[in-house]
Amino acid sequence: MSWWTLLDGGYSMPAQKTWGQRLSSRVGRWLASRHPMTDIHPTCLISPEARIHPRDGFIGIGERSTVALGVLLQGNVTIGRNCSIQAYSNIVGYGSKQQPAGLITIGDDVRIASHAIIIAGNHRFADPDRPIRTQGLDLAPITIENDVWIAGRVNIMAGVTIGRGSVIGGGSVVTKDIPPYSLAVGVPARVIASRRQS
């Protein structure tokens, strides 16, 4: 069992109390930042078991953000400051820095729990006589504004904006925009309350 595996099954990031822990997150950060199309702030904690690959895009991670084991960051993804991406979440953007059709933008102070799936593209399937894999993708950006909590096993579909201060309940599938300071749950996700109401 590695030091990344805590009481909650490894879904939280550890405190860096020993030289081994500090070295491990530095190795993870180094592995992530060696690609020329990444910008990883030196204060980030990156598990060496995270997979970070920009393909033709760009991946930026702001200061004091954490990326846990098994996370996949791929394509065109920008993550703000003080964010937490927990174990085995998949965040897949598309496009390039110059053509950001499938850009995923995650604001500051965002918490994404384990096993979330955030993908900025959907397969086309209109022609039943052609394999789906040959029909291409419809790309649309995803924006998660500041101070959002995405609970475990949430799916966020292409083209969605989740407003500032919102909470998305576990297991939800977000297919439409969520207004700021909302609590949304379900399949598909629906707003059931506002955090602004007293």
Find out whether 180 and 188 touch, Cβ atoms under 8 Å.
no
Tell me how far apart the alpha carbons of residues 182 and 78 are, in angstroms, rounded to a whole number.
23
Torsion, Cα of 47, 158, 34, 89 (10° steps): 10
Tell me how far apart the alpha carbons of residues 44 and 16 are, in angstroms, rounded to a whole number.
12
Catalytic residue among 35, 53, 115, 123: 123
Annotate 124-147 with b (16+ C-beta within 10 A) or e (fewer).
Answer: eeeeeeeeeeeeeeebbbbbbbbb
* Residue where the block lists tokens 């003080």: 82
Annotation says 123 is catalytic: yes
Find out whether 73 and 50 touch, Cβ atoms under 8 Å.
yes
User: Strand 84-85 vs strand 38-40: parallel, antiparallel, or unpaired?
Assistant: unpaired
Q: Show which residues are catalytic.
A: 123
